[in-house]
Amino acid sequence: MRKSDKIAFVVLGIGVCAVLGGIALIGRFTAPPDTLADLCPANATDAPAPVDLEADPAPYAGPGPHPILLEPNPTGVPAAWRSDDESSIQLVACTYSRSTDQYVRTCEYTGGNERRLVRTEYTVRVFEARTSEAVGRFRVGDTGECPYSILERYAPGHDEPSVPGTVGASADYKALTEALRPYVEQPVPPR
């Protein structure tokens, strides 16, 4: 192989590495940042994943109220506890449901759809938004009420809805609010 060919291959290799590295670097800077909702683990026993937020959330300290994000239903807490500015949120409450086999009644939905309503237990884990540290954990029950709507999913290649025959009862948001109240409203000493 001629010396000029070797130089050409080296230059080509360096060029390919530079292009691929540039693409990776651009992808890193153009990828959307995480949201505080991404802090919630997939299930009630996992540790929270680290999140890469655009702005640092406020520390969980000082007098209340401490703004909170409730996942997956942000409107499930009083409006005075919520914030549209993610950097002011101090707490993230992650809600997990577990349906039992205890039958309550039948729920009727449009289109003649009926579902058996079963009791549902809700586990709530509270994390500090800034550090992802666990602040608390508690359980609340359900209301015994049918959910307002159900989501029907169609399996690929099928015309019929593939929805289970049961639906979990709605969370008791009054009980949930009362259980969250100490975390949100009480003062937190500096650490």
**40 and 26 belong to one structural domain:** no
**57 and 146 belong to one structural domain:** yes
pTM for this structure?
0.74
- Which residue type is seen at 23? I
Measured CA to CA in angstroms, residue 11 lies from 23, 123, 143, 172 at distances of 18, 58, 69, 66
**113 and 39 belong to one structural domain:** yes
Tens-digit pLDDT profile for residues 33-63: 688 888 898 888 888 877 888 888 999 999 9
190 belongs to a structural domain: no
Mean pLDDT of the region 8-34: 52
* Res 56: pLDDT: 87
Out of 38-42, 68-72, 147-151, 167-171, least confident range: 147-151
Q: List, in sequence order, every residue forming a beta bridge with 142; answer none if it has no partner.
A: 171
- Which residue type is seen at 95? T
Give the position of tokens 């500096």.
Answer: 190
Mean pLDDT of the region 60-68: 95
Rounded to whole angstroms, how far apart are CA atoms 143 and 119?
9
**85 and 5 belong to one structural domain:** no
166 belongs to a structural domain: yes
Domain residue limits at 125: 34-185
**54 and 15 belong to one structural domain:** no
Q: Look at the chain and report how many structural domains it folds into.
A: 2
